[in-house]
Structure 1
Amino acid sequence: MSGLKSDTPVPTGIVVHAVSRVLELQYANGESFRIPFELMRVYSPSAEVRGHGPGQETLQTGKREVTITALEAVGHYALQPTFSDGHDTGIYSWDQLYDLATRQDELWAEYFAKLKEAGVERDTPMAASAHDGAAHGHCH
């Protein structure tokens, strides 16, 4: 896992906005960012999403309505959210969170380009994996 860069700001305040589905990060310099849960989820640093090397990423879909059901600190360098779809293996270091917060437009554009390239819709349900728990019913 990537550690903290020496110049990465550490949030002084963290607020989970459940209704609007954003994680708010507040910094000592007065900056404040709201990262949508969906963006966090599709860019999860977990091996389940990232794979174990370039080209092994798993494109995440159907995450628009995902929420954070729990949020735990990992030492003094990261957060580990539990998402409503059961995903809980992503550990977000302060630098990864700051990167997500400050590059949202670029990351959304990259995500939408990957969806288009793969020929899938943003809201397409993901195929159930072995550790997803109960299958979810979907109407077509």
Structure 2
Amino acid sequence: MAQTTPTMTERQGWTFLITVVLLAVLLFGGGLVGCPYYKVWERKMAGQAELQYQQGARQALIAQAKAEDEAAISRAEAATRRVRGWADAAKRGCEDLGRPNDVTCENQLLRDAATYSIAKEGHEGVIISVGAPVSVAVQPNAPAPQRSE
């Protein structure tokens, strides 16, 4: 048996050529029409991604600000407790020295406590004047100064 190779007729050739040309025109035309829509969609997606990023960054900044606010409030409350403790200690110290209700004694002890606290925390640049040590500044054997009221 002899093999025959299939051959296209002239009409089939023209039909194939027209089909290929039509497909090429459709693809090219679709690309021309679809390209602007794709660019718009691409920009929209990029805008949405940027918006989500900015919202996340904003939320992070808000959380950081809240944390800093809470920390500042806690530091202020701690400083208030510390100063109240100093005042109570100064009052008791002056009473122990036999000088109850002596404002000068209490003020000197408060100054000394503040100076010690500032130096202990490493804020030496804040110290304006350093008082004498408590034992010298208070002078327990000296008579208490008279207060005028």
The normalised TM-score by structure 2 is 0.21
Structure having greater relative contact order (Cα 8 Å, sep ≥ 6) = 1
**Greater C-alpha radius of gyration:** 2
Higher helix share: 2
Higher strand share: 1
